[in-house]
Structure 1
Amino acid sequence: MESVTLAAGKASALDTGDTAWLLAATALVLLMTPGLALFYGGMVRTKSVLNMLMMSFVSIALVTVVWLAAGYSLAFGDDVFGGLIGGLDHVGMRGLGPDSVQGTVPTLLFATFQLTFAIITAALVSGAIADRAKFGAWLVFVPVWALLVYVPVTHWVWGPGGWILDELGALDFAGGLPVEITSGASGLALCLVLGPRLGFKRDAMRPHNLPMVVLGAGLLWFGWFGFNAGSALGANGMAAAVFLNTLAAGCTGLLGWLFVEQRRDGHPTTLGAASGAVAGLVAITPSCGSVSLLGALVVGLAAGAVCSWAVSWKFKLNYDDSLDVVGVHLVGGVVGTVLIGVFATATMTGGAEGLLYGGGLAQLGKQLVAVAVVGAYAFGVTYGIGKLIDRTMGFRASEEQEHTGLDLTVHAETAYDHGVLGHGAPVTASVLPTAQKGKP
């Protein structure tokens, strides 16, 4: 996405074809969060399925309120502080009526499209702390994190006057920096704040429902076409090229992950196929508007192979990234963002070229700087937010809640009739819903 200006245009500037495509793309990206809920929900144990779903779904509501109140203005308002943050001219979406046009689409539609990016980025972080976070603490964390982490990084990358785009010159077409690297680095920070799950590296913590995981991955892949191709902000040739690059990278990501699994473990797995596709899609997100089809195939393949190895780092380094947010989103985002400096072609970028296309090391250096700064900022601020919440209200669930399962102890529900069987202490009247107490 190019840097944008929020000045209202005339109604005649609106293009109905571009508007129709962006309406569809916005709906596709919003669908990705329920898809992520299923993807994550299938990966946890039966005792915490609903809690995992809830962490994604509640992010839709929380981020929407924050984004409409101030987030959009701060991210896409005219720069007010050296490329670091936008202004408050559009607080509460003030001044953005139905006749306001951003490029060739309604400004309100552009703002809604960007909102769906913010929603899924916050939801992505939840996978790193699955099974052990207080739901109330999550309700506090999401809006604060969205304002202090996601919004500034988005302004740096896509906002008018943002320093990463305008001063540094790093490229990111659809969100490798504000979405993938930010969520991955933030997930790592929260892993360290909360500590590992009970039984980490000792108990089997296998996905309880692999068909649900594959369904979630399929919905994510479907929505990703809106995520990436929608970022062209028009029904045009760039959208078509990005669409194809997205499909290609998802496929080679899947194949790359399965190849590593087969060589390393002797078994290509269903979970690996789903994770590999997601890894390829993560990596092509920043680079889809910069690389050729051949570049997209290589980016996806590299991400699938590297991320397949990266998910095992948590056992060696002793951080409990429950659902591999670090291994897939942080590592995949880094791979895709850095490889722009290798495979970018002027045919796609309109100017900038990567190392293999005669551009030298300049663009590669810019991409590395952007990755390092965004990753460090997201990690540092998230760690601070997490620590503050943990010291004031507690971020981690109690051992009893974690042992019994968050579904029953927090939400007074279970996903299945046998939802707590074989997963901890016997159910007592104190953790049953009121309507069930005293019943046989």
Structure 2
Amino acid sequence: MWLYGRPFNAFDRWTRHKRGRTFVPTMLGAYVVPPMPALPPQLLPNPGLDDPAAWSVAGGWSLAGAGATHSLGTGQYSKMTALGLTIPTEATDLVMTFEIITQTSANFTLGARAQLVGNGSNTGAWNGLHIRGGDTQPSTRMQVSYLRNRTPSQNTLLIESGNQWAGTIRNVQLYDVSASRHKPTVILIIKAQSNGEGFGLEVADPIKDGWHPDIWMCPPNSYGSGLYGAKALTLSVAQEPLVHSLNPGHRVGPAMSMARQIVALTKGAVRVVIVPVSRSGTGLLGADAPWNPDTTATGDLRRYPIMVSTYQAALSQIENHVGTIGVWAGNEADLNKADWQAQLPAAFRNMVSRTRADLAVPDLPELILGPAEYSGAGYALLAQMQATFDADSGHANAIPGVKYLPGPQGPGHNNAGDAVHWTTEANRIRGDNAGQWAYLIGRARGWWK
């Protein structure tokens, strides 16, 4: 089996010789979060909200027990200030998290979020585990607010809420994640269509889909006045749901679990930056196809040019870039072309070649995350076709540096009544598997030990 520059069998022998061990990627039967590096120290003197002397509340906020409740009001913002807080002088990047245990009214543009006094660039830099609009479910949600560009004089932290959000929060935590910005960094470009973005039926889970200081993102566009932490072409700490386009699906895809495995297997030695640029229903075949490198499509459908510019934006903000991996999860939209089987091999080869040239990464490894092949005959044929692109396939369609990864095997891994989309659990599993392969790629190339 070929693995990016050397036969896999030889590589396997090399790892045993050099390290006394070998690593073989394994597809999980059920998703389990891998052992992650510990979070940095928590900074708030009273994260439990049970000490009125540790918080100054105003407007619609009130403290009760171990929680803080915000009521609907007439003012634009209500603010709650953390008292006695000391932030390290050198800290530039902070993350605040809290649990939302009840919501009686939800408007996320004016929802609860963190802000540093005097730093307008922090406004809108927040993210939460929510579906789009009207989510008033009482179940626990984890809110993640990322604060960027802090200066040494900024030591006042606020939790603010607009007058259209009502609910109760608890367990506030504040972390300095600045060290992650300086780590060796690998970029994952998550591209193609809905199975790259994720269209399972479940919303994100605070445990299975949680944030980590070593997983960041650079979205192609903002969304909802900073909703979901998406600031166009700007690095920020990643959290589900990732924003891939102007028409996001707001669900869990494979990207975060892939990044999580890389961080876990490298024991926190690297940072992962996700460039999320997938969009539902976007194909490769045809002059106006969004993923055609020479597409005539316009606006948000120009996915290939958007991918290139977003990657370049991410790269310009990384001080220690060690490598890039492309991740393709698509071509389902191309099945409506009568001659797709004749067109796809050359079109895919051309896209891989152009991507390597346009990103200036001539040996860019490309992982193909296969379709839900058990959901219909067309998708099984697509899976068979994509497998021939694998560098080890022995087929005339084989492309050096390309690896095909099927998803979980057997029926039941696509949404009920939906032949196209993987379930939320399947997305986590296929991302986890891709992360294991990415780890091997990076190790073979010397990106990490």
Bigger fraction of residues in helix: 1
Q: Could you say which structure has the larger radius of gyration?
A: 2
- TM norm structure 1: 0.29
